Amino acid sequence: MATSLPTRVTAPVAGVATTVASTRGLSRAFDGRSILDGLDLDIERGEFVALLGRSGSGKSTLLRALAGLDRGTTGDLTVRGTVSVAFQEPRLLPWKRVIDNIALGLDGRASKDKARAALEEVGLTPLAGAWPLTLSGGEAQRASLARALVREPGLLLLDEPFSALDALTRITMHRLVLDLWTRHADDGGRLSVLLVTHDVDEALLLADRVLVLGEGRIAYESRVEAERPRRPADLIALRGELLRQLGVEEGNS
Ligand SMILES: Nc1ncnc2c1ncn2[C@@H]1O[C@H](COP(=O)(O)OP(=O)(O)OP(=O)(O)O)[C@@H](O)[C@H]1O
């Protein structure tokens, strides 16, 4: 098994840089079992990318590598600017109030102000003083998003953040994430999003580009050309192709 670490270059976002993250030949094995196998990926600045793949295909492994949480990968990995992650479980500290969870890890006297601004962005201002265990699932995910946004990331990694939510809350969260992404894009095209999801429709609704991970690499990718807000009718052909790529019969999903 290879033991060398990836070349990890973290540089400030320069005016001319258009790629926020790229990998070349990124590989990861667990106990000799290859999960990522020479994966090449580029995420452009301001782009919203969805990552699909069957269970166990390595989606979270890729996300963890991009987040700098996994030092066991080999190959090249370049990330420009700050990266934030929001996971499926909100992972809030139960002994800290919501506002203090958001401000956690921020330095300086302005940290509370930044946390307040982030809470306002996700519509959670009234719950700033609440304890995490009193929040609903959707509210806790909003807090988790605020905690990710407060660090002003260039790349926001979302690991199935909506999958545990009920259908109505999920729709609200989709709107919120698109809204945040658009707002930050308006600020100068800064925010790129990589969303890991099992849900083909979620990917088609939100992303500029959809990737399918298979055999340790990007096995398929497609741009989603339909204008937002998108209608299911505009997405039928690509939906069928993505389901085929994932090995799912249409009509059984
Ligand atoms: N720390 C680890 N030690 C051993 N095996 C691991 C570790 N992390 C991940 N794996 C294995 O790597 C494979 C890919 O896992 P990963 O979580 O990346 O898949 P995934 O595509 O995100 O799956 P899912 O959609 O089910 O969440 C799985 O077989 C998993 O058991």
Instruction: State yes or no: pLDDT of 9 exceeds 50.
Output: no
In the chain, where the domains are located: 19-82+153-245, 94-151
pLDDT digits (tens, 9 = 90+) for 185-194: 766 668 999 9
Rounded CA-CA distance 178/185 in Å is 10
Whether 207 and 50 have beta carbons less than 8 Å apart is answered as yes
* Atom 31 of ligand 1: nearest residue by CA position: 56
Give the pLDDT band of residue 1 (cuts 50, 70, 90): very low
Average pLDDT rounded to a whole number, residues 95-103: 96
Instruction: State yes or no: pLDDT of 15 exceeds 80.
Output: no
Give me the percent of the chain exceeding a pLDDT of 70. Answer: 90
Superfamily per CATH, domain 19-82+153-245: P-loop containing nucleotide triphosphate hydrolases (3.40.50.300)
Taking the centre of ligand 1 as the mean of its atom positions, its distance from the CA of residue 221, in whole angstroms, is: 21
Taking the centre of ligand 1 as the mean of its atom positions, its distance from the CA of residue 31, in whole angstroms, is: 12
Pocket around ligand 1 at a 6 A CB cut-off: 30, 35, 53, 55-61
pLDDT digits (tens, 9 = 90+) for 157-187: 999 999 888 999 999 999 999 999 988 876 6
Q: Closest ligand 1 atom to the C-alpha of 63?
A: 18
pTM: 0.91
**Helical H runs in the chain?**
59-66, 98-103, 111-121, 137-149, 167-186, 200-206, 236-245
Question: What pLDDT does residue 187 have?
Answer: 63
Taking the centre of ligand 1 as the mean of its atom positions, its distance from the CA of residue 58, in whole angstroms, is: 6
Average pLDDT rounded to a whole number, residues 30-42: 97
Residue in 1, 27, 51, 59 to alter for ligand 1 test, most ligand atoms within 8 A of Cβ: 59
Q: Is the ipTM above a cut-off of 0.90?
A: yes
* Atom 9 of ligand 1: nearest residue by CA position: 61
